[in-house]
Amino acid sequence: MYSMKGKVAIVTGGSRDIGREASIKLAAAGARVCVNYNSNKDAADETLQLIKKAGGEAIAVQGDMTKAADVTKLVDACVEAYGKSIHILVNVAGGLMGRKVLADLEEEFWDAVINVNLKSAYLAVRAVVPHMTEGGAIVNFSSQAARDGGGFGGVAYAASKGGVLSLTRGLAKELGPKGIRVNCVSPGMINTTFHNTFTKPEVRTNVANATPLRREGEAREIGDLVLYLASDASSFINGESVEINGGTYFA
């Protein structure tokens, strides 16, 4: 539906779940994709195979997106493989890392959550923007938690994702005059390993039953939204957070 022919995309955290689906959708639409992963090379290789099966082209690059040197390595590898212009950046890298209430919330844990969700996005944007020209698109990832405070023990995560909202809007104002759009996706309960790891099954069932659509979302549905926001079809959408949660929360 949306042609990405001739475009180059970086997807941080692109090896599994939502990042994988975003990578596949972009590649299938014609973009050449640089898939970043942190530690799971097998998952990254599987993503590359799925992209190839979909008729796309991609490379995988290892790197911790909380480290500036690794972000630079990712951008350099993408430029070496596909040329000096990067048209799309999708910042999926992030995570909850655990549920801790305030009494148990150590400074080190707080910093780690802020770094993986907010600092990683800032570092990636800072490194990629010099390679972007007019028509570029950045898609960040916030969360419904940024709006409603998140689940119990998720205050650090919610705060970090609230930061992503503000980062997105500030960058939209700064980069808009250069013809670069910055938006973010804010998912609710999505069927991913994130919730397999950090959310109790009974909580997931309760949330799904309370959702007007009576189900969780799927990663492929988030991938479709990423593709739209990265494409020229959304050329007048800038500084927006798109809530995708089946109707559980209205911004």
In angstroms, how far is CA 200 from the centroid of its own chain? Answer: 23
Q: Which of 82, 157, 228, 249 is catalytic?
A: 157
> If residue 210 lies in a helix (H) or strand (E), which one and from where to where?
helix 201-210
For 48, other C-beta atoms within 10 Å of its C-beta total 21
Q: Which of 9, 18, 170, 207 is nearest to 95 (CA)?
A: 18
Q: How far apart are the first and last CA of the chain?
A: 28
Three-state DSSP state, 59: strand
106: left (phi over 0), alpha (psi -120 to 50) or beta: beta
**Residue tagged 């972009």 (tokens):** 26
Cα–Cα dist 32/9, whole Å: 6
User: Is 37 one of the catalytic residues?
Assistant: no
The owner of tokens 């150590």 is 106
d(CA 14, CA 24): 9
Distance CA 249, CA 148 (A): 8
Report residue 84 CA to chain centroid gap.
Answer: 22
H or E element at residue 43: helix 41-53
- Point out the residues that are catalytic: 157
